[in-house]
């Protein structure tokens, strides 16, 4: 199962990369419209921070320190930098998941992120859904703004 989860997350990080890259007007990464409150750039930063934290730092002991507030408050980060961050987190995820064993997937995730105990595999599946939820928002924002 770990290979499948890794393939899904890295595949969808490739989709995130292509989605951010597809913004023709870089300033649109930082715009919202209607009742949307988070620009695509911030959603990208949030996804990178989320995966760096929950896979890289907690499961992979990468040393990453999250600044969740900055994920939503920073603005005008160059598109090139966002793309670099996506590439880096993709490598972190792939490297970390490659070292997990089937037995580790059945262990309890080290933190109760969702407010209750869950297995590592359950939480990794949750992270797949979270990534896709925000990926869809980014796609919608891009099409709406451009």
- The whole-number pLDDT of residue 72 equals 97
Under DSSP, is residue 108 helix (H, G, I), strand (E, B) or coil? strand
- The whole-number pLDDT of residue 34 equals 86
Q: What CATH number is given to the structural domain containing 133?
A: 1.20.120.450
CA 32 – CA 141 distance, rounded (Å): 7
51: Cα separation from own chain's centroid: 5
What is the DSSP code string of 8-21? HHHHHHHHHHHHHH
Residue range of the domain that includes 48 = 2-145
The pTM for the full model equals 0.96
pLDDT digits (tens, 9 = 90+) for 71-92: 999 999 999 999 999 999 999 9
Task: Classify each residue of 111-130 as buried b or exposed e, where b means 16 or more C-beta atoms within 10 Å of its C-beta.
Answer: eeeeeeebebbebbbebbee
Low-confidence ranges of the chain (pLDDT < 50): none
- Total of domains in the chain: 1
- The whole-number pLDDT of residue 6 equals 96
């Amino acid at each position: 199962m770990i290979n499948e989860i890794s393939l899904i997350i890295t595949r969808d990080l490739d989709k995130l990369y292509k989605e951010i890259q597809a913004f023709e007007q870089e300033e649109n990464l930082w715009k919202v419209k209607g009742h949307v409150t988070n620009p695509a750039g911030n959603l990208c930063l949030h996804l990178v921070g989320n995966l760096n934290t929950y896979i890289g730092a907690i499961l992979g002991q990468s040393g990453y320190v999250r600044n969740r507030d900055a994920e939503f408050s920073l603005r005008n980060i160059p598109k090139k930098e966002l793309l670099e961050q996506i590439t880096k987190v993709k490598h972190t995820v792939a490297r970390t998941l490659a070292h997990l064993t089937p037995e580790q997937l059945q262990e309890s995730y080290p933190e109760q992120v969702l407010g209750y105990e869950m297995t590592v595999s359950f939480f990794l599946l949750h992270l797949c859904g979270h990534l896709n939820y925000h990926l869809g928002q980014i796609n919608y924002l891009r099409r709406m703004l451009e």
